[in-house]
Amino acid sequence: MHELAALLREYDRARAYTDDLWKDLTPDEVTWRPHENSSAIGWHLGHQAHVAHFMIRNLTAAEPSPDPELDALMDSANPEKFRGALPTVERLTAFRDTVADRVHARIGDIAAGRVGAPAQLTVVATHLLTVLVNHEYQHDQWIGEVRAEALGHALPPDPDGGTVHRVDGYLVLDCL
């Protein structure tokens, strides 16, 4: 249970770092695409949440999407030119927050033993949270590059906590 709580804190830290990368940008900067075959920062924000939802849904609890209209748009299997227009920043924020709340609720149920196979799901949840944190940071790398190089904004400092380091330029979570 302690490990899941620590991993949830890491998930929150990764999401907070993502917020540091984009919350001070204008809506135009969030939806701007560097070129035709490139994703906007806003797409990466939605994609991070989309993957978190599908990982939780497919590995721990079958539940409907919090915003089914965003599913195809945020799926990286769909080529950029076929994804469609991004939703508003407010809708992206609500989607991200709802998914994070669901991650916390489901992992909380697992940690408290309120699931059918608590020991097995604890193993799954431990790896799942590690993947979610590292996926968040994977897309933060691209968001940060666009923020700094294309939009000219300073980067925030790396998350502090002693549990992440850089590998090939990407932040990754150490195994707890």
Mean pLDDT by 10 residues, the chain (176 residues): 89 97 97 87 96 95 90 88 87 97 97 96 96 97 96 95 91 82
Predicted pLDDT of residue 122 = 96
Q: C-alpha dihedral over 97, 83, 141, 160, to 10 degrees? A: 0
Give the residue numbers spanning the domain of 74.
Answer: 2-173
For the beta carbon of residue 37, count every other beta carbon within 10 angstroms: 9
- Give 105-144 pLDDT, tens digit per residue: 999 999 999 999 999 999 999 999 999 999 999 999 999 9
Domain count, the chain: 1
Predicted pLDDT of residue 84 = 79
Q: Which helix (H) or strand (E) holds 10?
A: helix 2-22
The CATH number for 28's domain is 1.20.120.450
Q: Tokens 């850089």 identify what position?
A: 166
Predicted pLDDT of residue 82 = 76
Predicted pLDDT of residue 86 = 93
Both tokens of residue 113?
């033993």
Q: Which helix (H) or strand (E) holds 130?
A: helix 118-145
Predicted pLDDT of residue 130 = 96
Measured CA to CA, the distance from residue 108 to residue 97 in angstroms comes to: 16
Model pTM? Answer: 0.94
Predicted pLDDT of residue 1 = 54
